Amino acid sequence: MPEETVKETPPEAPRVGVYVCHCGLNIAGTVDCEAVAKYAETLPGVARAVDYRYMCSDPGQELLKKDIRDHKLNRLVVASCSPRLHEPTFRTAAEDAGMNRYLVEMANIREHCSWVHLREKAGATEKAKDLVRMAVSRAMLLGPQVEKMVPVRRTAAVIGAGVAGIQASLDLADAGYHVYLIEKTPSIGGRMAQIDKTFPTMDCSICILAPKMSEAGRHKNIEILTNSTVTAAGGYVGNFVLTVHKTPRYVLKGCTACGDCARACPVVAPNEFDMGLASRKAIYSPFAQAVPSTYTIDRALCLNKGHVMACERCIQACQPKAIDFTQEPADVQLEVGTVIVATGAGTFDPTKLEEFGYRRYPDVITTLEFERLINAGGPTQGHLVRLSDQREPKRVAFIQCVGSRDLRRGNAYCSNICCMETVKDALLIKEHWPDVAIDVYYMDIRAFGKGFEDLYRRAREEGVRFIRGIPGEVTPNGNGTLKLAGENTLLQERYQEDYEMVILSIGLEPQADATDVQRVLTLSRSGDGFFLEAHPKLQPVDTPTKGIFLAGCAESPKDIRDSVTQACAAASRANILMAKGEIHVEAITPIIHDDLCTGCGLCVKVCPYGAIFMEGEGKGRKARVVDAACSGCGGCGAECMFDAIENRHFTNEQIFAQIDAATSRRTPPRGRSSRSPATGAPTPGRTSPASRACSTPRTSASSGRCARRA
Amino acid sequence: MRPVSEILHEARAYHCYSCGKCTAVCPVAAVDPEFSPRRTVERGMAGADLYREDLVWSCVTCRACLHVCPENVDFPAFILGLRREMLAAGRGPDHTHGEMLQTIPRLLAKGTLLPKRLDWADPSTVSRDSPVMLFLGCGPYLETVFGYLGGGHIEIAKAAIEILNRLGIKPRLLEAEACCGHDMLWTGDTATFEQLRARNEATLKASGVKKIVFTCPECYATLKDRYDLKGVELVHLSELVAGALGNGGLTLSSQEGRVTYQDPCRLGRHLGITKPPREVLDAIPGLERAEMGHSGGMARCCGISAWIQCNAIAKQMQIARVKEASGVADTLITNCPKCLVHFKCVLKEEGKDIPLKVEDWTVLVARSLKGGGTHA
């Protein structure tokens, strides 16, 4: 690949415009901006220096453009906030005035100065002057850059097929893109398929989900891969390559889901969909409305191991002859432009909270187990019965915040849904069995969403009691009932109450395989273990990796409405990339100088983005850059012992100039610059080793190898 | 006295959700409706004066509250902060047994007194230079003070040595071992505690011991959490024994009995050691072991801490606990020299109609060694 050439501009003396922003009082309250601007005027190369109240405002930007024209400025230094906020603003203003975007430098005198030295005004002002001096030094050496355009594939991958994944897939498919919907279990649907009713609408959950599942199943643009997991991901935004491991079903598409095979199968195991409260066979469909409806054989349970056929009952029972034990796992490569991660959440296991007796006493169950019991398609056909004796409970208690808001033995965060889940569950019980006494033991009731307060009100109208005081223990009375003992914190009295069923309102937590997903896709996780968004307020569905988005509980606990909202948002974000069909790559990627590159490959080892690779053999082995994958971190340039890597827009010269400026005297002695002679002219290409600012002797001027590294 | 708000802040009490779980599990609150960790914290945050004798000295510092607290509010640490101020202001607790049991540590804190309390030890079972030491604690003194209950503490010490011998260890007993200072610490007498700590740290460093075996959970917890003993391994006897079970190691001979195990507060909740003592009991053939309703992290305190406030509330706590034990077993196995005293005491007087015996874990295990198993 030929070395990138950048448009050469005729060398001219730099004329730097310095703009010191007040940012209202954010900077000006601590830093004397006027003094900094006055100081900037004294710096070599500075043609104009002013201070201004809000540089990012429209008038501020107009000021920049006007000055560029009127004062023939060819470099800008904006001393203001972090470039993470307004670099695009000032770059665009410069570009509008005819200047290359990359001739703008920012000095952060807010986050790096005024905000961290609030009580040291004099010191902060001096530091701001230093930062501006450094910025001017760099600005003098900046060269124009051209941004590359990278094509974006118009195909998307959605990982996880719960309601969030399904919604995102439908949106993208309707917009015309081909979508791979990848799901690790045998059917799409996720948690929403397990729930009985939704809050606050009291809709039958699977009834409103199934149409979406069905639509996804038959959509011409959606390709569903179930029993599949993403095992590797390469590439970069617009051009991802996902390796998907497909575990076979051992059942062909001709399966009519009649169930004869399951009836014949001799192996019984707990059914995950029913939270282990019911059983399934080794050959099974997870639930009645499964999409795809094709049955699956769980080979871990099946009596046939490898190619040894010990049992053929399903084969014999199957009329359409759809059983096929010869199927093999496959690894497929999917080339996609964008990825949406919608892998959902797991639930907290309350066994470790010994005081509640979960797993010790069968009549202590979780809310998710309750959903399966009360569901007409569940193990008890919707009859709420005690697991101990299958009798209907007359007194039921809910305990809130189990595993959530718990620093010691649970998760520190609030799980968002549990209050409303319980309110809904209580109403469900009352609907069917109005005489059942229901008490909810809580710390707070969070009914924050649309329609939530109404549902909470309805529950209280129906006679559900809300008692503020989490029980300290659940103990058996010996007659089949359970005693809850606690403190009613509003009455300031201890209580002891007996119940026939205790339901623990468990919280959500990251999936057990979240670490694997994170590793494969190089995602970040927040402190609570969920995947991290790029910005909690302004980019809630983006990840720090361009082209990868989040939706649903994978990002944090939330209900169906918010999961669907995020799914639509993620689809929209993916759509932006894919609709344009190409994206700009910021011109901060490395240039490889083949004449210096020895092909050692160290740069490849240190790149966290897989953005650099080796090409060629022997003496012709050289490093090559994948610009779109590169984040401009500079690690490769720092590592290269042969100075063969030049980091565009962050060249060694520019950085040395900043260091020299930082370590020089604030006011140079009269008549002499404190720096070694500035080159003056911009250097768009590379400088020859001899003219570097670094004074460490080299072993050989031609090899450019630094003596320190010899 | 320090402002209550400052002590509340140190104990993270501002994080309290007021969920009520602490009061639900507190053994004192179970018998005294006026006492509630949560209400105490709430009132303190509202500015009430918490420097009250009836409040500050009633807590048994068992950490049942901390065990269930979702916000990690260390109520016993908060109480300790208050106690330091109260004691310094001359508003100390009711010391039981004529303050004798506080006198002994105070005497030892002076640093020069060398106790003479090892005469009962058989020299052939101990070693003068082993790197493994058996920390005796207050056992020998308690034998004297509680002779009227039938003693039992020297028996524990002897049993511990026997078990260690069977494990191939002749432990060292240090003449100059002083009281660990646990009770001084928890009654707010920081000065005496620091003296004892300094004395013991110096003695232990000079002795060159590398491993200290404890039978007393309070000594173990104090040395582990409050002392600076870098490079010295601390272990409870039950951990050593449990580790030697099976795989051709220690085997125990048959014992008869229906027993239940009392988790000492310092061993179970403060140190998190609940499994090893049970593993050993379960390895004794013939022994039937049942759990009380409140066991493990939920175990209930023996009612008294640091030899103070022996009163009607304490007795009610003790009665409740022995009733719970007698509901599932004939014998209550204790694993702490103080639990032993407290349960024996209540069963002798207020609880004399309750059909329950008390036996120490170490003594029972040593008995099971006779005639059984090879040593590791």
Residue of B nearest to A477 (CA): B293
Test B20 with A406 for CB contact under 8 angstroms. Answer: no
Closest Cα in chain B, distance from residue A411 (Å): 9
Q: Which pLDDT belongs to residue A693? A: 41
CA torsion, points A435, A436, A437, A439, in degrees to nearest 10? -140
Dist. CA A338–CA A549, nearest whole Å: 8
The pLDDT of residue A278: 95
Structural domain contains residue B376: no
Same domain, residue pair B139 and B229: yes
Predicted local distance difference test score (pLDDT) of residue A307: 87
Mind listing the pLDDT tens digit of every residue in chain B (376 residues)?
999 999 999 988 889 999 999 999 999 999 999 999 999 999 999 999 999 999 999 999 999 999 999 999 999 999 999 999 999 999 999 999 889 999 999 999 987 788 888 999 999 999 999 999 999 999 888 998 998 998 899 999 999 999 999 999 999 999 899 999 999 999 999 999 999 999 999 999 999 999 999 999 999 999 999 999 999 999 999 999 999 987 667 888 999 999 999 999 999 999 999 999 999 999 999 999 999 989 999 999 999 999 999 999 999 999 999 999 999 999 999 999 999 999 999 999 999 999 999 999 999 999 998 654 334 3
Mean pLDDT (chain A) is: 92
The per-residue pLDDT of chain B, averaged, comes to 93
Domain endpoint, select from B88, B111, B133:
B88
Asked if residue B107 and residue B80 are part of one domain, the reply reads no
Do both B71 and B164 map to the same domain?
A: no
- Say what the pLDDT of residue A298 is: 97
The pLDDT confidence band at residue A499, using thresholds 50, 70 and 90, is very high
**Do B208 and B122 have their domain in common?**
yes
b/e A694-703 (16+ beta carbons within 10 angstroms → b) = eeeebeeeee
Q: Provide the pLDDT for residue B373.
A: 39
- Amino acid code (one letter) for B176: A
The pLDDT value recorded for residue A668 is: 58
Boundaries of domain holding B257: 248-370
Nearest Cα of chain B lies from the Cα of A414 at a distance, in angstroms, of 12
Residue contact A472–B294, C-beta within 8 A: no
In B80-187, DSSP assigns E strands to 132-135
Handedness of CA A481, A486, A489, A491 (dihedral sign): positive
The CA–CA distances, whole Å, from B361 to A274, B264, B269, B365 equal 45, 11, 18, 6
On the question of pLDDT at A675 being above 80, the answer is no
- The answer to whether position B55 is within a domain reads yes
- CB contacts of A488 in chain B (<8 Å) are 20
Q: Do B18 and B53 belong together in one domain?
A: yes
- Chain A residues lying within 8 Å of B72, measured CB to CB: 407-408
How far, in Å, CA of A56 to CA of A74, rounded? 19
Answer yes or no: do B41 and B133 share one domain: no
- A401 to B70: CB separation less than 8 angstroms, yes or no: yes
pLDDT digits (tens, 9 = 90+) for A264-292: 999 999 999 999 999 999 999 999 999 99
The C-alpha of B72 sits at a distance from chain A's nearest C-alpha, in angstroms, of 6
Query: Using CB atoms, which residue from A405, A473, A492 is nearest to B24?
Result: A473
pTM: 0.86
Chain B contact present for A354, CB below 8 A: yes
Tokens representing A181 are: 């919907």
∠ CA A611-A612-A614, rounded to 5°:
150
DSSP H stretches of helix in A287-361:
313-317
- For B69, which of A408, A485, A494 is closest by C-beta distance? A408
Q: How confident is the model at residue A678 (pLDDT cuts 50, 70, 90)?
A: very low
CB B325 within 8 A of CB B332: yes
Q: Is B293 on the interface with A (CB under 8 A)?
A: yes
| Last residue in a domain, options B183, B217, B242 | B242
Question: Considering only alpha carbons, which residue of chain B is nearest residue A483?
Answer: B293
Predicted pLDDT of residue B374? 38
Q: Please report which residue ranges of A433-465 form alpha helices under DSSP H.
A: 452-461
Shared domain check, B126 and B26: no
For residue A520, give every residue at least 6 positions away whose Cβ sits within 8 Å of its Cβ, in sequence order, or none.
A230, A231, A232, A233
Characterize the bridge pairing of strands A437-442 and A395-402.
parallel
Q: CATH no. for residue B18?
A: 1.10.1060.10
Confidence of residue A670 (pLDDT cuts 50, 70, 90): low
What pLDDT score was predicted for residue B117? Answer: 87
> Any CB–CB contact under 8 A between A631 and chain B?
no
Domain-embedded: residue B269: yes
Residue B46 lies in a domain: yes
Chain A: residue nearest B22 by CA?
A472
Structure tokens at B333: 């196995």
pLDDT of residue A665: 75
Confidence band, pLDDT 50/70/90 cuts, at residue A666:
low
pLDDT at residue number A188: 98
Is residue A423 a contact partner of residue A455, using CB atoms and an 8 Å limit? yes
* A708/B69: higher pLDDT: B69
> Which residues in chain A touch residue B67, judged by CB atoms under 8 angstroms apart?
408
Helix (H, G, I), strand (E, B) or coil at A270: strand
Q: How far apart are CA A238 and CA A235, in angstroms?
A: 8
Identify the pLDDT of residue A203.
95
Nearest Cβ partner for B21 among A354, A486, A492: A486
Percent pLDDT > 70 in chain A is 92
pLDDT value at A642 more than 50? yes
Query: CB of B72 within 8 Å of any CB in chain A?
Result: yes
Chain B residue closest to A475 (CA)?
A: B293
- Say if B43 falls within a structural domain: yes
> Which DSSP symbol is given to A301?
T
Whether chain B has a CB inside 8 Å of the CB on A494: the answer is yes
Verify that B151 and B227 share a domain, yes or no. Answer: yes
Which of B20, B67, B296 is facing A489, going by the closest CB pair?
B20
The answer to whether A317 and A260 are in contact (CB under 8 A) is yes
Instruction: Read off the pLDDT of residues B324-367 as tens digits, 9 standing for 90 and up.
Output: 999 999 999 999 999 999 999 999 999 999 999 999 999 999 99
pLDDT of residue A11: 61
Distance from the Cα of A511 to chain B's closest Cα (Å) equals 22
Asked if the structure places residue B181 within a domain, the reply is yes
| Sequence-ordered strand ranges (E) for A338-471 | 338-341, 345-347, 364-366, 395-402, 437-442, 465-468
Residue A605 reports pLDDT greater than 90: yes
Type of residue found at B235 = V
Find the helix or strand (DSSP H, E) in which A475 lies: strand A473-476
Q: Do A489 and B29 touch (CB under 8 A)?
A: no
- B212 with B315, same domain: the answer is no
- Residue B371's pLDDT is 57
Predicted confidence (pLDDT) at residue A635 exceeds the cutoff of 80: yes
Asked, for residue B214, whether it belongs to a domain, the answer is yes
CA distance A291 to A656: 61
Closest residue on chain B to A442 (Cα): B19
Q: Which of B215, B242, B269 is the last residue of a domain?
A: B242
Partner residues linked to B199 by β-bridges: none
Residue B375 lies in a domain: no
A139-168 pLDDT, tens digit each: 999 999 999 999 999 999 999 999 999 999
Q: Which helix (H) or strand (E) holds A296?
A: strand A296-297
Using a CB-CB distance cutoff of 8 angstroms, which residues of chain A are in contact with residue B19?
401, 443, 469-470, 489
The percentage of chain A sitting over the pLDDT mark of 90, rounded to a whole number, equals: 88
Mark whether B217 and B127 lie in a shared domain: yes
B114 and B38 belong to one structural domain: no
Best interface-test mutation with B: which of A358, A399, A443, A487 has the largest number of B CBs within 10 A? A487
Looking at the structure, do residues B107 and B43 belong to the same domain, yes or no? no
If one counts every other C-beta atom within 10 angstroms of the C-beta of residue B305, the result is: 24
Total domains, chain B: 3
pLDDT value for A609: 81
